Structure 1
Amino acid sequence: MNHTDWLGLSGFALASLWPVLHLPYIRRLDTLRRLLFAAAGYVLMMVPLFGLSLAGWLRGIIGDLSLTTLLLLGSALYARLNPAATPLWDARERASLLLFISVMALMLYPFALGWGPLDPYRSGYGSIGLIVMLALLALWALRRGLALLPLAIALAVTGWSFACYESTNLWDYLLDAPLALYALGATAGGLLQQAIRRKRA
Structure 2
Amino acid sequence: MIPVSLQSCLSFALIVFLLLPNRRIPMRYRGPLLLVVLVIGIIPLPTGLSLAGYLRGLTDELSITAMVWMLAGTALRLGWLQPGSSACSWQLCSVFAVLGVLLYPASMGVGMLDTYGWGYSPRMLIALIGMLALALLLLGNMLGVLILTLATLAFTLGIKASDNYWDYLIDPFVVFYSIGVLAANSIAALLKWRRSQFAPAPQLDEGLD
Regarding TM over 0.5, the answer is yes
The superposition leaves residues 86-106 of structure 1 with CA deviations (integer Å, 9 ceiling, x where unpaired) of: 624222212111111110111
Hey, what's the Cα distance between the residues in 1 that align with 2:84 and 2:172? 23
Do residues 121 (structure 1) and 107 (structure 2) align?
Answer: no
Q: Which residue of 1 aligns with 2:39?
A: 43
- After superposition, the C-alpha distances for 1:76-129 in whole angstroms (9 at most, x for unaligned) are 2222233xx662422221211111111011111111111222111111113210
- SS at 1:16 equivalent: helix
SS in 1 for 2:113: coil
Query: Which residue of structure 2 aligns with residue 136 of structure 1?
Result: 131
Cα drift, residue 48 of structure 1: 2.4
Match of residue 5 from structure 1? 5
Residues 115-194 of structure 1: matches in 2 within 5 Å? 115-194=110-189
Per the TM alignment, residue 46 of structure 1 is displaced from its structure 2 partner at its CA by 1.9
Name the % identity.
Answer: 29
Runs (5+) with no aligned partner, structure 2: 198-209
Aligned to 1:107: 102
**Alignment partners' CA distance in 2, 1:44 and 1:12:** 9
- Structure 1 vs Structure 2 CA RMSD: 2.2
* Structure with the greater alpha carbon radius of gyration: 2
Contact 1:101 1:180 in 2 (8 A): yes
The offset of 1:39, in angstroms, is 0.3
TM-score norm. by structure 1 comes to 0.86
Contact 1:66 1:176 in 2 (8 A): yes
> Quick one: structure 1 residues 171 and 8, their matched pair in 2 at CA, closer, same or farther if it must change by over 3 Å?
farther
CA–CA distance in structure 2, aligned partners of residues 34 and 64 of structure 1: 26
Structure 2 CA distance for aligned equivalents of residues 193 and 27 of structure 1: 25
8 Å Cα contact 2:65/2:170 also seen in 1: yes
Counterpart CA distance in 1 for 2:174 and 2:57 is 17
Across the two proteins, how many residue pairs are aligned to each other? 195
Unaligned residue ranges in structure 1 (runs of 5+): none
Name the SS of the counterpart of 1:133 in structure 2: helix
Aligned to 2:78: 81
**Residue aligned with 2:16, SS:** helix
- Give the letter for the 1:115 counterpart: V
- Does 1:19 find its partner at 2:19? yes
Counterpart Cα distance in 2 of 1:190 and 1:93 = 13
Task: Go from structure 1 to structure 2 and tell me whether the alpha carbon gap of 1:89 and 1:126 turns closer, same or farther (over 3 Å shift).
Answer: farther
